[in-house]
Structure 1
């Protein structure tokens, strides 16, 4: 017999699953968030769908003590989605690295690709703690596909290259992917192969953001669009990233690389950075007349939670954004 909290959780999972019923497609090739407990009632839990693979994220401080509830979550989705081929559990606060990267708890192997807005994206769901495709930037990938025809793109902190691939799918003339991790580039190249995009090795730069962007500035190389999607916090021998404190510094590193009239796309996912505070920072950057905010891009509601499914207010108000992942499109004017 279920205890009260487990029964409440399953009721919540049922209502949130029903709210997302319009996202399913016949071939089960898509990817979206089935449950975001941070907003929808259980902060330790998130559940994603990647094609026919169920991804359960356990953020509890003591994963072992949470085993029974996770087992109930697993059983619930297996019964509701009988076409699932694999379930992966990532215990993000486990001591063992392989548990943080993820363990197959039923079926297998995990899916290796998904399709989104007509574009294929390669996956390696066990590569690291993340899932190799960020679901909160789906709307940005669509914007890039629809607005980058003929452009030269620089995708910094490229991760597995999905943003750059979306731009290529929309007819971008050239996309340069910059990331410190070569394994991410390898997955990006698989995405290119899935879509029939040509692979030019010189378009994949494995290196540190700070010296590489400095070199590009010295060489006066310009792009029509630069994407700035840094991690919340990271440190290398050549510099540090802290999105809570120094977004302005990062923007000023890449703004000189954008041609006149081009775009600078900035993603800031700092959970504790209020939306209004961030907007004031951007407004200060606009004061010299060389940057202009063109639009905000929202996070999809399956990731942020729907008005009728949100149970917990965010820790910090993201308004005017709809989520702590704050995505802006800036227009650049050169001297």
Structure 2
């Protein structure tokens, strides 16, 4: 096995439990996608074994501090069995959840979501995808209730985006979460129709918005809108630039037996909608602000790191006095501290006051590592506008 030498600081980082590797961890390295290397420190002491594979988090990840360990079927089976047993002990108020969450559950490069009896694998590096057949095979031995497997490739230049792998093909699956139903699709591009990591936030909104008006921006399939409507919201407004959002959001209301009479749907740029709402003097009791980390339309380019403060200012203008804003981001390049600073800057610019009512991070099934801040990427802050 090829040796790779890492810095003293990197060796300490690994020993503290951080498995992610970036270029600066190495004294020097001959990178090759999928290469397994033995990591040694500056004193020529063995530290760990790692798999090299490029993803947005770095260029590889440690898989064992045992020099004799290999990426064998038994390794993957033991890994998945331990994670499966641990996740079964969690109380999750949904028929869909994150079973395996990358490096935080033992090995980076892939995740597994369960939608009732359907498993959806997401592969983030070519390096780990080379082991896909072995991993899926042992997974089916461990998770015997699994009926179908789908997979999605999320690295650059994939051979395909999404496909059915084995079992019984399922075109549409209705999941249930905290008393709300959602239509999901296992083989419709990279997404399934629901973001599982926002489960607790949807439950909170459902509980708090009875008799209130709710604006859901960047609404995607309208999950927040539907949760609010089931919770008794007087009216919901969903805004998304994608034309499919109308069809997909209507479907979510339909599967819950909800009338569209009190729901408004707009296909338009969210910034343009804010201008429209301000001109029409519209105000909302709740505003959900959960944009993608990065987006480009014909009119503008948006990134959370650069533009969230501006976005929040627009939202404040149309939030009723003593109303609430669900300020949310999954941008891993924005820390919690940075996000709070963005929020504070927006209110100070407008000379408005606010209080933080509640904070949500990733739910328990989305395992995180304390040593790796970006593993807990979700930051949701419920703001009361004073």
Q: If the TM-score is normalised by the length of the shorter chain, which range does it land in? A: 0.7 to 0.9
- Please point out which of 225, 235, 246 is paired with 1:174: 235
Three-state SS of the structure 2 residue aligned to 1:214 is helix
CA distance in 2, matches of 1:285, 1:241: 16
The secondary structure found in structure 2 opposite 1:127 is coil
Runs of 5+ consecutive residues of structure 2 not aligned to the other structure: 1-68
In structure 2, which of residues 70, 73, 78 is the aligned counterpart of residue 4 of structure 1?
70
Question: Following TM superposition, by how much is the alpha carbon of 1:62 offset from its aligned partner in structure 2, in angstroms?
Answer: 5.2
Are 1:95 and 2:157 an aligned pair? yes
Q: Distance in 2 between matches of 1:73 and 1:174?
A: 46
- The 5-angstrom pairing of residues 136-151 of structure 1 reads 136-151=197-212
CA-CA distance at 1:189 after TM superposition: 1.5
Secondary structure at 1:132's aligned position in 2? coil
1:81 counterpart (143, 148, 169): 143
List aligned pairs for 1:51-130, cutoff 5 A.
51-61=116-126, 66-67=129-130, 69-93=131-155, 95-96=157-158, 99-100=160-161, 102-107=162-167, 108-130=169-191
CA distance in 2, matches of 1:39, 1:110: 31
> Alpha-carbon deviation of 1:85?
2.3
Larger of the two Rg values belongs to structure: 2
**Which structure's residues are more often strand, by fraction?**
2
Give the deviation of 1:239 after TM superposition: 2.4
CA contact (8 A) 1:225 1:263 kept: yes
What RMSD over aligned residues (CA atoms) do the two structures have, in Å? 2.4
CA-CA distance at 1:157 after TM superposition: 0.1
CA displacement 1:225-276 (0-9 Å, x = unmatched): 0101100001112222211222111101211111111101111111021222
Match of 1:183 in 2: 244
Point out the more displaced range, 39-48 or 216-225.
39-48
What is the SS of the residue equivalent to 1:329? strand
Cα distance between partner residues in 2 of 1:159 and 1:233? 14
Q: After the TM superposition, which segments of 4 or more aligned residues of structure 1 sit over 4 Å from their partners?
A: none
Evaluate the alpha carbon distance shift between residue 291 and residue 128 of structure 1 in structure 2; reply closer, same or farther with a 3 A threshold. Answer: farther
Deviation at 1:215, TM superposition (A): 0.7
CA contact (8 A) 1:148 1:172 kept: yes
- For residues 294-309 of structure 1, the aligned pairs below 5 Å read 294-305=357-368
* Deviation for aligned residue 1:55: 0.2
> Is 199-208 or 138-147 further displaced after alignment?
199-208
What does 1:178-217 correspond to in 2, within 5 Å? 178-200=239-261, 203-217=264-278
**Are the counterparts in 2 of residues 135 and 303 from structure 1 also a CA contact under 8 Å?**
no
TM-score by length of 1: 0.87
Give SS of 1:217's match: helix
Give 1:206-245 correspondences, 5 Å limit: 206-245=267-306
Inter-partner Cα distance in structure 1 for 2:345 and 2:244 = 37
TM-score by length of 2: 0.76
Match of 2:353 in 1: 290
Distance in structure 1 (CA, Å) of the matches to 2:365 and 2:331: 20
Alignment match, 2:108:
43
Mapped contact 1:296–1:327 kept (Cα < 8 A)? yes
CA distance in 2, matches of 1:282, 1:96: 37
Shift of 1:323: 1.8
Cα offsets for 1:152-195 (capped at 9, x unmatched) = 00100001111111111111111111111122332221211111
In 2, Cα distance between equivalents of 1:153 and 1:43? 38
Q: Are the structure 2 counterparts of residues 61 and 231 from structure 1 closer, same or farther at C-alpha, using a change threshold of 3 Å?
A: same
Confirm whether residue 324 of structure 1 aligns to residue 385 of structure 2: no
Q: Distance in 1 between matches of 2:76 and 2:140?
A: 16
- Residue 312 of structure 2 contacts residue 346 of structure 2 at CA under 8 Å; is this kept in 1? no
* Residues 57-116 of structure 1 deviation map (CA, whole Å, 9 limit, x = unaligned): 1111457xx33x21122122322233322110101126357x22x100012125421001
Contact 1:53 1:110 (C-alpha < 8 Å) held by counterparts: no
Contact kept? 2:325, 2:385, Cα under 8 Å: yes
- Tell me if the contact between 2:359 and 2:380 (Cα under 8 Å) persists in the aligned partners: yes
- What is the CA–CA distance in structure 1 between the aligned matches of 2:294 and 2:272, rounded to whole Å? 18
